[in-house]
Amino acid sequence: MKVLVIGSGGREHAICQKLLSSRDVDTVFCAPGNDGMKNSGVHCVDIQEKNAKALIHFAQEEAVAFTVVGPEIPLLSGVVDAFTEAGLLAFGPTKAAALIEGSKDFAKQFMQKYAIPTANSKTFTKYKEAKAYLEEKGVPIVIKADGLAAGKGVAVAMTMPEAVLALKEMMLEERFGEASQKVVIEEFLEGEEFSLMAFVNGEEVYPMPIAQDHKRAYDGDKGPNTGGMGAYSPVPHIPEKLVEEAIQTILFPAAKGMVEEGREFRGILYAGLIATNEGPKVIEFNARFGDPETQVVLPRLESDFAELIFALLKNETPDVRFKKAGIHLGIVLASKGYPEQYETGQLLTGLDQVSPEIAIYHAGTKLDTAGNLISNGGRVLLLQTFANTMKEARQILYAEMKKLDNPNFFYRIDIGAKAE
């Protein structure tokens, strides 16, 4: 069968590659995809991810068996709803269900209603009231833009001037436009962070192994928040009991709650969690696969990915089995300056030296007119490997990352170090 993936990042490359390894899949299209994916047999289609009409037309013309939606933006613009109306199978939540990611205020109210553990919070639309609340609560405190802000709409403020500045930027200067006219101010939580993703079909929940992302730009978790600089799975220092607790107290109640709200969730539910002294609590929900978590979690899937998705789309019980042994590690190569100002169009060097054993997931790469691969985004690509231990995985992968050393790019040298 032929399948279509919507999106263009490293996550979508990993999804495409896993689909290509499925027994019944012979063609994988990615719209719009990126040039770097083409080497691994993905057919890129020049249609933008929000152009539902053109995507539907393409899916019908090619008679694709189903479509997988990667990013949040098309989900929140209702791509899945449009596909369903056209009689096509699309894997991902409806616009109504994707609101669990699209509005932090909605997510907080939802968690409160269904007693899902999360930081205490309050939502504001008026600057003056928000500022008074900040002053009453004191620091450390966390300020979040209500809407989508590409992972950058969160300020963790350790001092009051920082908190006030963040609030001003969001509410008065509309730093994230409409997304930050409303803000959620929440209690600062302490603990180890991890990502728990699950295949969800209404009240059914099939969890994946957990992963840990590295959100800050620089070593030692310093610098600004990014989309993610690297990840690994599983996370050996998070006890299995705690993960089980998160599945029972967070994932299952969330799936059930969404059904009760009339926003039945079908797709990937991503819980960004923090292991506090009082147990796991939610930092955020996403309505999709994480990036870069997917690049280290999907390779652990032992059952057939296309069959799994097809089964969920047909309301059948899927075969969901993940590898138990060893560890997958992924490290992002980013453009110098990311996540702030950076240049694109920089030549990628050393890629041809990377061992064929290493998976390369392209995020922001393209071919120039001479046929050379150049950068085309903040996160450029991710190298991923598997090993029995983290120590071994880090040794292998950092030797490969070195081959890509180039003053126009950077990567963190401590990805996975905590798990050694």
287 binds ligand AMP (CB under 6 A): no
Residue from 247, 204, 228, 214 nearest 339 by CA = 228
Q: Which does 89 bind (CB under 5 to 8 A by kind): ligand GLY, ligand AMP, none?
A: none
The pair phi, psi for residue 323, each rounded to 5°, is -60, 140
**87 C-beta neighbours (distance < 10 Å), count:** 8
Q: Which does 101 bind (CB under 5 to 8 A by kind): ligand GLY, ligand AMP, none?
A: none
Binder among 32, 78, 140, 151 for ligand GLY (CB under 6 A): 151
**Which residues in 97-136 contact ligand AMP (CB under 6 A)?**
119
For 79, the 3-state DSSP assignment is helix
Residues constituting the chain: 420
Smallest gap, in angstroms, from Cβ of residue 166 to ligand AMP? Answer: 12
Q: Which does 192 bind (CB under 5 to 8 A by kind): ligand GLY, ligand AMP, none?
A: none
Q: Which does 228 bind (CB under 5 to 8 A by kind): ligand GLY, ligand AMP, none?
A: ligand GLY
Q: Which does 166 bind (CB under 5 to 8 A by kind): ligand GLY, ligand AMP, none?
A: none
What is the per-residue binding string for ligand AMP in 190-229, x denoting contact by CB under 6 A?
---x---------------------x---------x----
Of 59 and 412, which CB lies nearer to ligand GLY in the complex structure? 412
Of 67 and 286, which CB lies nearer to ligand GLY in the complex structure? 286
Q: At 273, which helix (H) or strand (E)?
A: strand 266-276
For 90, the 3-state DSSP assignment is strand
For 390, the 3-state DSSP assignment is helix
101 binds ligand GLY (CB under 6 A): no
Inter-residue contact 365 to 34 (CB < 8 Å): yes
304 binds ligand GLY (CB under 6 A): no
Tokens matching residue 400 = 């490969």
What residue is closest to ligand GLY based on CB?
290
291 binds ligand GLY (CB under 6 A): yes
233 binds ligand GLY (CB under 6 A): no
Beta bridge partners of 331: 230, 383
Smallest gap, in angstroms, from Cβ of residue 189 to ligand AMP? Answer: 4
Smallest gap, in angstroms, from Cβ of residue 158 to ligand AMP? Answer: 11
Binding region for ligand AMP (CB under 6 A) out of 182-190, 250-258, 322-330, 355-363: 182-190
Q: Which does 290 bind (CB under 5 to 8 A by kind): ligand GLY, ligand AMP, none?
A: ligand GLY
Of 107 and 373, which CB lies nearer to ligand AMP in the complex structure? 107
Identify the DSSP state of 250. I
**Which residues in 134-173 contact ligand AMP (CB under 6 A)?**
142, 151, 154, 156
For 82, the 3-state DSSP assignment is helix
The footprint of ligand AMP on this chain (CB under 6 A) covers a number of residues equal to 14
Q: At 206, which helix (H) or strand (E)?
A: strand 204-207
Inter-residue contact 393 to 331 (CB < 8 Å): no
Dihedral (Cα; 373, 377, 378, 384), 10-degree rounding: -50
Of 59 and 339, which CB lies nearer to ligand GLY in the complex structure? 339
Smallest gap, in angstroms, from Cβ of residue 187 to ligand AMP? Answer: 6
| Rg of the chain on CA atoms, in Å | 21
The pair phi, psi for residue 276, each rounded to 5°, is -90, 175
3-class secondary structure per residue, 154-198:
EEEECCHHHHHHHHHHHHCCCCCHHHHCCEEEEECCCCEEEEEEE
Inter-residue contact 214 to 229 (CB < 8 Å): yes
Of 146 and 291, which CB lies nearer to ligand GLY in the complex structure? 291
189 binds ligand AMP (CB under 6 A): yes
Residue from 249, 233, 231, 229 nearest 241 by CA = 249
Beta bridge partners of 193: 274
Which positions lie near ligand GLY, rule CB under 6 A? 151, 213, 228, 286, 290-291, 293
Which positions lie near ligand AMP, rule CB under 6 A? 119, 142, 151, 154, 156, 186, 188-189, 193, 215, 225, 272, 283-284
